[in-house]
Chain A
């Protein structure tokens, strides 16, 4: 049996040359071949019949289709003509436009035929509107059928009359109007099979399990990011993220900061050898910058006083956690101060508070939209920002039963617990922890003037997770050399860095935050990949 099948397949693919076969076998073959031929002939006949029938129907249909000029698939827009036509955005479809005849370009979110009517939901970004096409004197049966068969996500141009509705359409963003379609054309058709369904992608996790409906897992989303980014939740997240960046820039510019750009291809690893990407650089190799640290400081030594930069940061850390990426956007600040590094902490915390206020006051729509799928507590903060000292944190943790040394670094679970304790007492999701022990900080951190075991360094936390690590920097070349030697760092590799402090350097401090992490924590999300458009981690390099 098996042998015969394989034989038939090979023969059909034309790859077998029949050489020798027993007579019996030959007879069997010819019988089989005959049967096969018969079957094929039947099939062909049926097909021809069907096609003829279809053609006949089509002709009939064409004859009756009075509306055939009012719908169809447009030829690909290759800028054939410059139409002077205004397209109204879905979000602007309000009762004020009632009875107006307008053109709208949107995607087909859903389409449903019901007898002589077709209900479409058109979508543009976060906004949806209901559209109705009914068989009548404007639309033919074929037109309604055409509309009902359009694939989801296709981009269409629709000419319609805006109509007020008596009962609010709860399922759409534009609840007070619907469109009565007169003309409908396809600008860009979507393939019928989508790798993921948008309504599944916005379904909250719990709901999916309860009602037995699907939700989409993270890897599928990331593999088909272009479609996942179309969901209302994604649109809201990235608009809010854009707001974070905008508020960061605006606040600092108003404080007199200058935006700088620092090189990302560098000759020496800035933070420490291990977690750095190497690139081939002509005949040698170079590294991708782990932070703009060294260059920010050089700008201060070059008298720019207050600088900030927004740019990519590369960390070759093989961490597969909810909050690590190998490439992320760093928002970095560096500032010269007069007498005390708290001047810089105050500036940084004020910038963060302005960002939080700006988001609270201007992005409520986006925050609510994200909360629909990912419910969370609203972000709380104090103005001015709460600043606790490391010793207080240790005391709080000890009172809560944690056993730790006074100069031990905070582990991630301890940071989270501390965040909860602070939230309990002060009701804030954002605070600064000042005066970290010197031993756990990088070599360029300025030691505390009164107690050599501590340092002028600080971390800032959002919802119990660290978002910024900063400090007063050592601006004296000799002390810097001593500290580097103490940490066992090769002085040759950082010669250029140390040299920048030899010709008069102001006291300065700074810190940097990650855009994706801040957005994630502000919204109360749980994975940084949700707030990175095309995330990079040890397992993902594309899209």
Chain B
């Protein structure tokens, strides 16, 4: 017989959950709670993995390209690299991967027309031009700026890539690809960078890549948006750089040349440009990729 009576933990006041535990069963509400906790933890791990993946991509932009290829060879007019479309554009689900570009007819994106021509050399591209209802009419040259309609255009799935240009009343040029997983890319230069990546011709060397970005930014902020003083300054830097090498990055033609040449041409007054710049523009013209641009220059 105990010396004192202790409260009976197995008594009436106990709730059925505790009672059940005594028997080895699990209270359903507790089980649900545990399951929820597991689910939340699992999602947290997934998110962490995704963010880690992004961090990796951001810090090493060329992480998925083979860094063991040799440095640039002799000047070539056609990009010979290859790009992994699946990793850049997402898995091929058996349907046309369509890149949509919304541009204002008042400011045709000349560098994108050049890039389109280059893409057509590399891939089977289905090109279409549409006029959005926000614009009432568009001059005919803008309707045929991507060239004649491909004879197989009735069978969309035969193409690797779609290039859909929509003339629309937008303040800023905009590119859309996979609206579920990608936010729109804005600005001609940024879209140009994206399209250039599809050609697999990005400079491997980080210094060269940075220099390329630098020239592109100069074109956008000073040539296009800057005043006449800024424009003059850019033309002088271009002249200086082109005195040392045939192309802006050295021996190899790159996106920097495409974007800067287009912006210089669009600004006009190319006959009064410095000597090296004029020579360089002539070289660009000789490559043949700029033919699509000339109808839009004043």
Contact = CB atoms under 8 A, between A and B. Distances in A.
Interface in B78-126: 90, 93-96, 98, 100, 102
A380 B133 contact: yes
A381 interface: yes
Contact of A389 (B90, B95, B181): B95
A381 B135 CA distance: 10
A382 B95 contact: no
B132 A427 contact: yes
Given A382-B130, A383-B130, A391 B102 contact: no
Given A383-B130, A398-B93, A427-B168, A388 B156 contact: yes
A384 B132 CA distance: 9
B134 interface: yes
B140 to A, nearest CB: 13
B179 A421 contact: yes
B166 A427 contact: yes
A380 B134 contact: yes
B157 interface: yes
A398 B176 CA distance: 18
Given A356-B133, A382-B166, A384-B130, 4 more contacts: A392-B156, A425-B100, A425-B179, A427-B132
Contacts of B181: 399
A383 B130 CA distance: 5
B164 interface: yes
A356 B96 CA distance: 28
Interface string A381-406: 11110111101101110111000000
Given A421-B179, A426-B100, A383 B131 contact: yes
A382 B154 contact: no
Given A388-B156, A392-B156, A381 B133 contact: yes
Interface string A415-433: 0000001001111100000
Contacts of B93: 394-395, 398-399
A395 B168 CA distance: 26
A293 to B, nearest CB: 25
B178 interface: yes
B131 A394 contact: no
B244 to A, nearest CB: 44
Given A391-B95, A427-B102, A360 B156 contact: no
A453 interface: no
23 contacts: A340-B154, A360-B133, A380-B132, A380-B133, A382-B133, A382-B166, A383-B133, A389-B157, A391-B94, A392-B95, A392-B98, A392-B156, A392-B157, A394-B93, A396-B95, A398-B93, A399-B181, A400-B180, A421-B179, A425-B179, A426-B166, A426-B176, A427-B132
Categorize the interface residue count of chain A.
20 to 34
Interface residues of B, number: 26
Interface centre among A356, A386, A424, A426 (most CB of B within 10 A): A426
Interface string A342-375: 1000000000000011001100000000000000
Contacts of A340: 154
B262 to A, nearest CB: 26
Interface centre among B154, B157, B178, B181 (most CB of A within 10 A): B154
Interface string A7-34: 0000000000000000000000000000
A288 to B, nearest CB: 38
Contacts of A396: 95
A424 B179 contact: yes
A56 to B, nearest CB: 71
Interface string B199-222: 000000000000000000000000
Contacts of B96: 389, 392
Contacts of A387: 156
A379 B164 contact: no
Given A389-B96, A392-B95, A399-B93, A382 B131 contact: yes
A381 to B, nearest CB: 5
Nearest to A356: B133
B216 to A, nearest CB: 26
A387 B157 CA distance: 12
Given A382-B132, A383-B130, A395 B95 contact: yes
A324 B53 CA distance: 50
A425 B181 CA distance: 12
B178 A399 contact: yes
A372 B130 CA distance: 31
Given A391-B95, A392-B95, A398-B93, A386 B178 contact: no
A478 B100 CA distance: 44
A382 B95 CA distance: 21
Given A383-B130, A386-B130, A342 B164 contact: no
Contact of B94 (A357, A384, A395, A424): A395
B79 to A, nearest CB: 28
A22 to B, nearest CB: 75
Contacts of A356: 133
Q: Which 7 A-B pairs have the closest CB atoms?
A: A392-B95, A395-B95, A395-B93, A382-B130, A424-B179, A391-B95, A381-B133
A426 B162 CA distance: 13
Contacts of A428: 132-133
B143 to A, nearest CB: 10
Interface in B129-147: 130-134, 136
A392 B100 CA distance: 14
Nearest to A385: B130
Contacts of A400: 180
Nearest to A393: B95
Contacts of B176: 424-426
Contacts of A361: 136
Contacts of A399: 90, 93, 178, 180-181
B207 to A, nearest CB: 37
Contacts of B100: 425-426
Contacts of A384: 128, 130
Contacts of B94: 391, 395
B182 to A, nearest CB: 10
Contacts of B157: 389, 391-392
Contacts of A391: 94-95, 157
Interface centre among A356, A399, A400 (most CB of B within 10 A): A399
B249 to A, nearest CB: 34
A391 B97 CA distance: 11
B93 to A, nearest CB: 4
A387 B181 CA distance: 22
Nearest to A399: B180
Contacts of A394: 93, 95
